[in-house]
Amino acid sequence: MPAGRHRASRANATGMTPAAQPLSGPQFDRLIGCAACHTPNVDTFPQGQIHKLTTDIQYTQCNTCHNRGNYDLKTMTFLQRTDHPLLTDRLQNYYQPIAQFTKCEYTLDCIDCHTRTEAMGDGDIHSNEADIQYIQCKTCHGTPTQLPLTKTLTDPNDIAFRQAQLNPVVGLELGDTVIVTDKGEPMWNTRVLPDGTYQLVGKATGQVFTFKPVMGSGCTQNGTDQSSAYCHTCHSVQR
C-alpha cells in the first residue's frame, strides 16, 4: 500500500470513529486531508500516484467516498458495493441498476454541478448532506416561468476569474455572462451565448455542452418541485 493511503480508522475531534470508513480495494484508495479530493486516485492515472494538487477532479475521485452501495428497504440495511467500478463505463460508475437519472447526470462530472461550498462546506456544521446541498435542476435550466439566475462579469477581481485560472478549461473575459447559484456563486464554467442558449464546459474533460432553458420549451413541469424523482418522470434515461 503506498504511503499515506487512507485505510485505517481515524478518530475525529470528538474521539468517535467516523462512520464512513474506507473500503478495501484500489478503487477506494485515497489520501487524506486536501489530497483526498485534490490528488487523483492511482487508478485514474496510469503513471501512478502523483504528488501534486489539482482542481481537475474526475468523478472517479468522488467515487472513492461516494456511490458506495444501496439501501435495502426490505431489511433496512445498507449494502456495500462489491463490484469494481469500470473506469471506462461512466454510466455504470455513476449509477447502479436500481437508479434513475438524466443524461446530464452521468455525462458531466460531479464538480461540473456541485460547488466548492457544497463540497468543502460553508463554515457551519450541518446534520446531513441535504442541508448543505443546494444545486438543483433549475440552477442551470431554470423553470417554465423563470430563466436561470445569471451575472455579467464586470469586475476583473471577480472570484469567477480566480476560479477559472485554477482550472483553465475556459477563457473567461470581462463582459461574459455566467450562471450563478441561489447564493450568488458564479458557475464560472458556464456562459450565456448571444442567441440565448447556454454553454457549459466540463471542468475535468473540457467537453463543451450547449443547452436551452426550460422557459419557452413547452415543458409543463411544476417549477417549484425540484426533486430528482419529479424530473426523472419525463427525463430519465432508459437502459
Where would I find the beta strands (DSSP E) of 17-169? Answer: 69-72, 77-80, 150-152
Q: Is 222 exposed, middle or buried (0-12, 13-18, 19+ CB in 10 A)?
A: exposed
Per-residue pLDDT, 207: 93
Cα gap 19→128, rounded to integer Å: 13
Per-residue pLDDT, 23: 65
Cα gap 121→24, rounded to integer Å: 27
Per-residue pLDDT, 42: 57
User: pTM of the predicted model, to two decimals?
Assistant: 0.76
| pLDDT tens per residue across span 178-194 | 999 999 999 999 999 99
Per-residue pLDDT, 103: 78
Chain centroid to Cα 217, Å, comes to 26
Helices (H), ranges, the chain: 35-38, 59-62, 90-94, 103-107, 110-113, 116-120, 137-141, 159-166, 228-235
Per-residue pLDDT, 19: 46
Cα gap 97→239, rounded to integer Å: 9
β-bridge mates for residue 190, sequence order: 200
Per-residue pLDDT, 48: 54
| pLDDT tens per residue across span 119-129 | 888 888 888 77
Helix or strand or coil: residue 189? coil
Per-residue pLDDT, 194: 94
If the chain, 239 residues long, is cut into consecutive pieces of 10 residues, what is the mean pLDDT of each piece? 38 45 66 82 55 82 77 79 62 63 83 88 81 87 94 96 91 95 94 95 93 90 83 77
Strand 150-152 with 198-201, pairing: unpaired
The grid coordinates of residue 96 equal 447502479
